[in-house]
Amino acid sequence: MEYKGRRQFAGHQIRMREHISSEPRPPSTVDDTVLVQGLKNGQEWAFEALVRVFGARMLSTARRLVGNEEDARDVVQSAYLSAFRAIGEFQGSAQLSTWLHRIVVNTALMRLRSRRRKPEESIEALLPVFQADGHFVERFSSWDVPADQLLEQQETRRQVRSAIDRLPDTYRTVLVLRDIEELSTQEVAEALAITPSAVKVRLHRARQALLTLLRPHVARGPTR
Amino acid sequence: MLRGVQLDEKACLAGAKRECGAGIKEGDIPVTCRELADFIADYLADTLPSDTRAHFEHHMGVCTNCVTYLDGYKATVELGRHAFDNPDAPVPDTVPEELVKAILAARR
């Protein structure tokens, strides 16, 4: 499976940080092959490099999925330990960062499943309502400001993140994986053990619900 | 704006039999506002069959409420995609040092 998560730390050139000091001293840059070889050989600098170079990105992914800092750090730690154990099986068919990202996503999804003790809220109340003849009940208003300008405002980005957090987990997870992490429909389907069609339906509903939540912040005047 | 809304509503509601597709028979214009809403994701992903896409776009040509909804949907996707970006950050994010140490310690 080709895995195309966003921001794959492109390149095979991985910049090493100055503070990685374990012996043998690593080169200033290293490609996947060198890093993987170091990991497979059990070299300390390689483990540290894997954490320092990719850790922030992995932590961001975990935060988006599990929604709080403590769980996100637990997820990242657990994922890295899984990766260290499984490095012998890494074949190099994907980039190292992509492989690691997949482990973080799966670990985060397991965490979400384990903590889901009560039925989640229905998303229905956030979806558009239609008249019997198929028309929207609501009369929509244009947005005051284009999205690209809204995104320049820190407050808007905070409002959007808050709205995403309010989505039921089932839908939020798909939205994060598809629209933010940029996994393909097939990749999300495999990660969540659901059909690609179900991924599409959940993504669409999540976006619709997010629109409903954002509209009071961005649209002109009363909308209902 | 209000005038425009009223005109649009007139076109879309009173003229539904011809223009908007709501409540009309199969084989005429099959895209209602409800159906349009269902098709938006596929429309944006450019995966609609050509005939359905044509009906979708025809509907968009006569229903400004759906145009507004589609615009909002597209903007929402854009906002969601970039909500976690932080262009104000002076340096790239780094992983917290205590997390680095915890991971490496747990490995040993």
Q: List the domain boundaries for chain B.
A: 2-107
Chain B residues with CB under 8 Å of A210 CB are 76, 79-80
End of a domain among A95, A115, A135?
A115
List Cβ neighbours of B99 (8 Å cut-off, separation of 6 or more).
Answer: A51, A55, A59, A73, A76, A77
Residues A49 and A16 sit within 8 Å (Cβ to Cβ): yes
Please, what is the average pLDDT of chain A?
A: 85
For the beta carbon of residue A132, count every other beta carbon within 10 angstroms.
7
Say what the pLDDT of residue A80 is. 97
Say what the pLDDT of residue A219 is. 74
Distance from the Cα of B6 to chain A's closest Cα (Å) equals: 10
Burial (Cβ within 10 Å: 0-12, 13-18, ≥19) of residue B78? middle
Distance CA A21, CA A54 (A): 17
pLDDT digits (tens, 9 = 90+) for A80-122: 999 999 999 998 888 899 999 999 999 999 998 888 766 778 9
Say what the pLDDT of residue A195 is. 96
**Could you write out the three-class secondary structure of A10-38?**
CCCCEECCCCCCCCCCCCCEECHHHHHHH
**Could you write out the three-class secondary structure of A180-207?**
HCCCCHHHHHHHHCCCHHHHHHHHHHHH
List Cβ neighbours of A131 (8 Å cut-off, separation of 6 or more).
Answer: A137, B22
End of a domain among A115, A144, A165?
A115
Say what the pLDDT of residue A23 is. 42
Query: Residue A197 is part of a domain; what is its CATH number?
Result: 1.10.10.10
- Residue A84 domain boundaries: 14-115
Say what the pLDDT of residue A123 is. 94
A47 and A107 in one domain? yes
A110 and A132 in one domain? no
Tokens of residue A24, six digits: 């043998």
Dihedral pair phi/psi, residue A214, rounded to 5°: -85, -25
**How many domains is chain A built from?**
2
Query: Residue A21 is part of a domain; what is its CATH number?
Result: 1.10.1740.10
A37 and A111 in one domain? yes
Identify the residue among B79, B81, B95 best suited for mutation to test binding to A, counting A beta carbons within 10 A and taking the highest.
B79
Say what the pLDDT of residue B12 is. 54
Reported ipTM: the value is 0.78
List Cβ neighbours of A129 (8 Å cut-off, separation of 6 or more).
Answer: A136, A137, A138
For residue B78, give the chain A residue with the closest CA.
Answer: A147
Tokens of residue A10, six digits: 């492109």
Distance CA A186, CA A189 (A): 5
Q: Quick check: B1 pLDDT over 50?
A: no
Q: Quick check: A211 pLDDT over 90?
A: yes
Task: Give the CA distances from residue A94 to residues A32, A57, A180, A187, B79, in Å, rounded to whole numbers and listed in that order.
Answer: 10, 17, 20, 13, 29
End of a domain among A115, A134, A161?
A115
Q: Quick check: A224 pLDDT over 80?
A: no
pLDDT digits (tens, 9 = 90+) for A5-53: 544 443 334 444 443 444 444 444 568 889 999 999 999 999 999 999 9
pLDDT digits (tens, 9 = 90+) for B21-37: 444 444 445 578 999 99
Closest CB to A60: pick one of B12, B93, B104: B93
The answer to whether residue A150 sits within a structural domain is yes
Task: Give the CA distances from residue A209 to residues A40, B47, B52, B62, B92, in Å, rounded to whole numbers and listed in that order.
Answer: 45, 22, 24, 25, 31
Band (pLDDT 50/70/90 cuts) for residue B94 is confident
Q: Which of residues 7-46 of A touch B (CB under 8 A)?
A: 44
Strand A14-15 to A29-30 pairing: antiparallel
For residue B44, give the chain A residue with the closest CA.
Answer: A204
